Structure 1
Amino acid sequence: MNFDRLTNFLNWLVDWRIPGLDIMVAKDGETVYRYQAGYKDREQGVKMQGDELYQIYSASKVVTCAAALTLYEQGKFLLSDPVSEFIPEYAHLNVKRVKPNGEVVIEPARKVMTLRQLFAMTSGLTYDLNSPAILETVDRTGGKAPTLEIAKAIAREPLVFEPGEYWRYSLSHDVLAAVVEVVSGMSFGEYVKKAIFEPCGMKESAFLMEDEMKPRLAKQYKFDDSKGVYEPITQHNEYVLGTEYESGGAGMISSVEDYMRFGRMMTRMGVSDNGERVLSPGTIELMRTNHLGEKQLRSFDWERFLGYGYGLGVRTMMDRSVSGSTGPVGEFGWGGAAGAYVLLDPENGLTAYYGQQMRNNQEGFVHPRLRNLIYACMEL
């Protein structure tokens, strides 16, 4: 193994437009590469040290779905169960339709939304954080609406298609977090701590920002396309809809080392660093199996995911000739709005996590190259 090419690329990224980054790569559970470059806080001249905490945004989704699947293994639900069985507000959903004459109408949904559709992003929900129902709930609670209450509010908004019709990125995993609360009888964050963080030895991760975490946060930036530069922005995470809201889709705070503890467990097909069984191999196989039909796959059309399908909260490699990936079929993971990248490859015992804290994150450029460079340097 020789990681010079990867190091050169990472240094180039910092010279190009990435303020700071941190990456860890493990083979068969052992770290084979770790590198930081750039700044935790450019304005103060504080360089990356490797102990930074990040708002990982949608990289939270992999953890959320894994936590929910621990309940699946306890027989608490089936993927075919209606969401309304756990949150009754989902029993009578509406769908926004456009008639041939262009008229927009709101009609009752003809199909039932299932838990599978929440996992697989085929629910018909949107990612509209400013919908009237959400804004009303946040305002009424003084910004303290908990996870389940927001999930109930989401049900009041019309779907954009019948459940199961297409794939669309949405608040599905936030609703799934509320289902976890109902099924477990615990807050979402408490359950994830019990089911995932503790058995994986993750002591630097949470779904609500704790005061002691704030000094360790990498400063958040945003790349300005018009100026060609990145600029500092506030640490605000707009997906966290209040002080009591634990966003299963985008609310997790973690470090590179801590997330790698989770990643290694997934790559070992469910066994943590300390040998504890967290998930069964069959459940992880189910998670990384494509759950989209042909019509749904056509709507999973982000360019960087060509050749991939979508499983239970993760991309999953299906066709190398289409993707151009040098990784194997079955490689899976996800990313985050500030640039996080998760790569899980059980066949090769390969786990990688890349940390970054910049919105407008350039992931379409960075992530595919990062993936291919990791495989090249690993000689896999």
Structure 2
Amino acid sequence: MDFKPLASFIDRITSWRIPWAEVVVMHRNETVFRYRNGFADLEEKTPISDNAIFNLYSMTKIMTCVAGLQLVEKGHMLLGDNLCDYLPEFAEMTVRKTLPNGEVRLEKATKAITVRDLFTMTAGFSYDIGTPILQEAIKNSNGTLSTRDCVKALAKEPLLFEPGTHWHYSMCHDVLGALVEEVSGKRFSAYLQENIIGPLGMKDTAFDLNDEQQTRMVPQYTYDEEHDKTIRTDGNGFRFSTELESGGAGLMSTVSDYVLFLNALTQRGTSPEGVRILSPASVELMRTDHLNTSTRADCNWDHMQGYGYGLGVRTHVSRAESGSLSPHGEFGWSGLAGCLGIIDPDSELTVMYAQHLLNSQESYVQRRLRNIVYGCL
């Protein structure tokens, strides 16, 4: 293995638009390459250091889905169950329908949201956190809206479509986090700590940081295309309440920490130390393509060409379409500020890549990074 091309790529993008980048590659449970470059703080010219903490954003979704699958494994719920069996506020939903004349009408939903719909982004929710209903709930709670109450507010919003009929990236996994709370009887963060984070020995993954961890939280930036400059933009807009534990975008972590979680999935659910977070059967179900004829056309992001969608993860289904050097079944997800997880059980390969740039240049960086990794093997 020669990872010089990967190091060169990190050097190239950190001299371009990306303030800093770090990557770790594990093969057969061994770290075979780790490299970082760039500045954590552009103003102070502070080099990125070990154990920097950053926002995972949507890479939180992988852990949320693992938590949900654990409860499926234990028989506490089934993917085909109606969501309202556990969260009754979803029993009577309306759907926003546009008539041929352009008129928008609200009609009673004829299909029930299922647990599977939460995993597969087919429930009919949106990702609009600025709706009047949600904003009113935040205001009435004085900014302390809980995970469970946030979902109760979301249930009052009309759906974009009948559940199960389309794929739409949305707050499905925030609702899944609330479902984990309800079914387990534990606060979402406590469930993750007891069943995933703690057992895997992850020390720096959380919704809230202690004082020492706060000192390692790195600045976040946005690249201003118009003025060709990078602007500091701290904060997580999806954490719009102090009590909200967003299953879709709320966790913070380090490269060293989150690669432990990703690698357990690469090893089909069990860490090198023998800690099992999922069964091999559940990992296979997770990376199975769950798109069908009615949902496939909706999952059409440019950087997802050749990939299907599993239970909260992209999954590689066509080399011809993707142009990717990874094998079929390679899976994972990424985050708003540019972090990326590559999970490949067949090759026993795990990649954790991190940066902290909103408008992350994802389409350019991530496909190239994936091919470079496989080209180095």
Question: What amino acid does structure 2 have at the position aligned with 1:26?
Answer: M
Unaligned segments of structure 1, at least 5 residues: none
Q: C-alpha deviations, 1:308-330, integer Å up to 9, x for none?
A: 00000000000000010000000
Cα distance in 2 for residues equivalent to 1:244 and 1:108: 32
Cα distance in 1 for residues equivalent to 2:240 and 2:173: 14
Task: Tell me how far 1:278 sits from its aligned partner.
Answer: 1.4
Question: What amino acid does structure 1 have at the position aligned with 2:297?
Answer: R
On the 8 A contact 1:291/1:312 being kept in 2, the answer is: yes
> Aligned residue for 1:308?
307
Cα distance in 2 for residues equivalent to 1:48 and 1:340: 15
Q: C-alpha deviations, 1:223-278, integer Å up to 9, x for none?
A: 111112211112x1010121111000000010000000001100000111311221
Cα distance in 2 for residues equivalent to 1:318 and 1:212: 43
Cα distance in 1 for residues equivalent to 2:153 and 2:249: 18
> Aligned residue for 2:295?
296
Task: Tell me how far 1:357 sits from its aligned partner.
Answer: 0.5
On the 8 A contact 1:261/1:273 being kept in 2, the answer is: no
> Aligned residue for 1:79?
79
The 5-angstrom pairing of residues 12-161 of structure 1 reads 12-161=12-161
> Aligned residue for 2:222?
222
Unaligned segments of structure 2, at least 5 residues: none
> Aligned residue for 1:332?
331
> Aligned residue for 2:343?
344
Task: Tell me how far 1:212 sits from its aligned partner.
Answer: 3.0
Q: Say if 2:206 is the partner of 1:193.
A: no
Q: Percent identity?
A: 43
> Aligned residue for 2:364?
365
> Aligned residue for 2:285?
286
On the 8 A contact 1:22/1:50 being kept in 2, the answer is: no
Query: Relative to 1, partners in 2 of residues 1:211 and 1:144: Cα closer, same or farther, differing over 3 Å?
Result: farther
Task: Tell me how far 1:49 sits from its aligned partner.
Answer: 1.2
Task: Tell me how far 1:294 sits from its aligned partner.
Answer: 1.7
Cα distance in 2 for residues equivalent to 1:75 and 1:225: 50
Question: What amino acid does structure 1 have at the position aligned with 2:356?
Answer: Q
Task: Give the secondary-structure state (helix, strand or coil) at the position aligned to 2:219.
Answer: coil
Question: What amino acid does structure 2 have at the position aligned with 1:215?
Answer: T
> Aligned residue for 2:238?
239
Work out the number of aligned pairs and report it.
377
Cα distance in 1 for residues equivalent to 2:63 and 2:211: 22
On the 8 A contact 1:19/1:39 being kept in 2, the answer is: yes
Task: Give the secondary-structure state (helix, strand or coil) at the position aligned to 1:44.
Answer: coil
Cα distance in 2 for residues equivalent to 1:207 and 1:70: 20
Cα distance in 1 for residues equivalent to 2:209 and 2:57: 13
On the 8 A contact 1:84/1:90 being kept in 2, the answer is: yes
Question: What amino acid does structure 1 have at the position aligned with 2:313?
Answer: V
Cα distance in 1 for residues equivalent to 2:211 and 2:105: 46
Q: Say if 2:267 is the partner of 1:268.
A: yes
Query: Relative to 1, partners in 2 of residues 1:210 and 1:95: Cα closer, same or farther, differing over 3 Å?
Result: farther
Cα distance in 1 for residues equivalent to 2:8 and 2:227: 25
On the 8 A contact 1:222/1:230 being kept in 2, the answer is: yes
Cα distance in 1 for residues equivalent to 2:186 and 2:137: 21
Cα distance in 2 for residues equivalent to 1:124 and 1:296: 12
Cα distance in 1 for residues equivalent to 2:211 and 2:73: 34
> Aligned residue for 1:249?
248
On the 8 A contact 2:10/2:22 being kept in 1, the answer is: no
Cα distance in 2 for residues equivalent to 1:233 and 1:210: 21
The normalised TM-score by structure 2 is 0.99
Cα distance in 2 for residues equivalent to 1:294 and 1:375: 31
- Give the ranges of 4+ consecutive aligned residues of structure 1 lying more than 4 Å apart after TM superposition: none
Question: What amino acid does structure 2 have at the position aligned with 1:139?
Answer: K
Q: C-alpha deviations, 1:279-332, integer Å up to 9, x for none?
A: 100000000001110220110000110110000000000000001000000000
